[in-house]
Structures are given as C-alpha cells and as structure tokens.
Amino acid sequence: MEKEKFKANLSKFHDKYYKALLLIPAILLLLSFVYLGVFYKQNGDFIHRDISLTGGTSVTINEPLDSANLTLALSDKLEGLSVRNIYDIFTNEKKALIVETKSDSDTTRVVLENYLGHELNEDNSSFEFTGSALSQSFFRQLLIAIILAFVFMAIVVFIIFRTLVPSAAVIISAFADIFMTLTVFNIFGMQMSTAGIVAFLMLIGYSVDTDILLTNRVLRRHEHSLNSRIYSAFKTGMTMTLTSLVAIAAALLLVRSFSPVLASILTILVIGLVFDIFNTWITNASIIKWYALKKHGQ
C-alpha cells in the first residue's frame, strides 16, 4: 500500500515538474562549457596531460623515499614534476617511488642523483623516456578514436530507434556524461593519461546502455501507463548502474595505492557513472516523456 502511494506521488511530481527538471542539466552543461572554455584559454588545452601524452621521463626508484620532501626539493629543477608512492597491496608498506617529469632523461638523472647522493642504476631504478612528437601523435590518434566511437554510437542509436528526438536524447545524455566528467576531472586537478583516454571510450558504452533501456521501454511497450514504463526502466537501470558503481568504487579503493593506471581509469568511470544516473533519469527521461506525450498522448 505504501509502495503504491509512493509511486502515485512520484508520478504526480514528475508529471508536474519533468519539463522544469530539464533546466538543471541544461545549466550544468552550460557551466561545463564555460569552465572548459576558460580552462582552455588559461592552459592552451582542454585537459592537463601527463607525460604519456606530452612526452617526458618516468623514473621508478626502488626506495621508500618521502614523496613530499622530494617534490618540494626538486619542483623548481624538473619541469612538470609529479611524484607518486608505490605500496605493497597486502601490507600497504611503501616500496618505491615513481617520478614523472617533462624534462629529458639526462637532466632528470643528474638532478635525482644530486638529491639522493648516490648513482641510479639498473638495480635501484628504471628510466623510461617518451619523445614529445610521439606522444602528441598518440594523443591525436586517441582523440580521433573517441570521436569515431561516439559517431558510430550515434549511428547505431539512430538505426535502432529511427526517430530523431528519442535518438537525439540518448546522444545528448551520453555527450553530457562525457563533458561533465571531463569538467570534474579538471576541477580536481588530475592529469590525463593514455589510460584516462581509454576510460572515456569505456564511458561511452556505460552512458548509452541505460538510455537505450529507458527509450526502448517507453516507446516499444504500451501495455502499461507511461509513468509505469519509466518507473520500470528506472528500477532496472538503477540496479545496473549502482551494481557497476559499487564494484568500480571498491576496485578503486583497492588499487589506488599501487596502480596509478587502473586508478585513473576507475576514477573517471566512477565520476561518469554518477553523471550517467543524473543525465539518464532527468535529461533523457524528461525528453522522452515529453516526446511520448506529444506523439502518442500516453
């Protein structure tokens, strides 16, 4: 009885305010555009890129050094310095240090050896250097891959529904997921890596599954009322998204101390899934309800 009353009250609220609710994602998307525009003007790029996308040197030092002291001492000597600790997954004991910088490998070696007071060799460290031209080329290829993935996703959505408004609603929601996630990523001051670009490719898939579920339930099933169909899709979709979100968040807590690559991927997916809940069940649900009422009257 209480459940039916709750559903009835929820339906009345949504019937009354579903158009007004669209203002919330519209304002957030506009603010994201403004923020990224200002960010680009200040930094000359839409993201902060790490050395895998700009070129530079990565050094793993097999000593439990203090990352804060090293950063403080060398930040004015090495360009774009970033320092991370590596911990044992079971004991959480500090095992090593990863130093990343846009400086070349020779300069990095000299600066680090002067700071440590001993020579860095194959036994106590490892050096990796990536040229800027190669990294820039790789970055462009990854951007092209994201654009192509999004375009092909949009084509598939149009083929599935063959109607402009429902298809556009799915695409707009997916675009908003990616754009808002990128904005939060920059606000947190994180650096984009090749793994991060891959995470955005994954996010495209995560973004459209619940949108397609919702649109399919609303447009292709007419045995129940419109609100009942939306509510049914909501229960199924939220179960899918929350299950993924809990699993990814748990994995992030486990790997963040010893695998920066996995941590970067999982962080982007967590942020993206939170926005996916918002954009699917406010943005897409409001648009598809508006369309269904206008087109079919139910």
pLDDT in tens, the chain (298 residues): 677 777 777 778 888 888 999 999 999 999 999 999 999 999 888 888 888 788 888 888 888 888 888 888 888 888 888 888 887 767 777 888 888 888 888 899 899 989 888 888 888 888 888 777 777 887 888 889 889 999 999 999 999 888 899 999 999 999 999 999 999 999 988 888 888 888 888 888 888 889 999 999 888 766 778 888 888 899 999 999 999 999 999 998 887 766 777 888 899 999 999 999 999 999 999 999 999 888 765 5
d(CA 284, CA 77): 50
Please report the sign of the dihedral spanned by the C-alpha atoms of residue 239, residue 241, residue 244, residue 247. Answer: negative
CATH architecture, range 56-130: 2-Layer Sandwich (3.30)
Domain ranges of the chain: 2-49+133-295, 56-130
d(CA 200, CA 139): 13
CATH of region 2-49+133-295: 1.20.1640.10
Return the half-sphere exposure (C-beta side, CA atoms, 13 A cut-off) of residue 276.
Answer: 30
One fold for 2-49+133-295 and 56-130: no
Phi (first) and psi of residue 139, to 5 degrees: -65, -45
Tokens (6 digits) for 65: 């050094």
CA angle 126, 128, 134 (to 5 degrees): 175
Q: Are 52 and 119 in contact (CB under 8 A)?
A: no
What are the residues facing 49 on neighbouring strands? 192
Burial 241-264 (b: 16+ CB within 10 A, else e): beebbeebbebbeebebbbbebbb
Helix axis angle, 260-278 to 226-255, nearest 10°: 160
Report strand pairing: 191-192 vs 56-61.
Answer: unpaired
Q: Which residues contact 239 (CB under 8 A, 6 or more apart)?
A: none
The single-letter code of the amino acid at 211 is: D
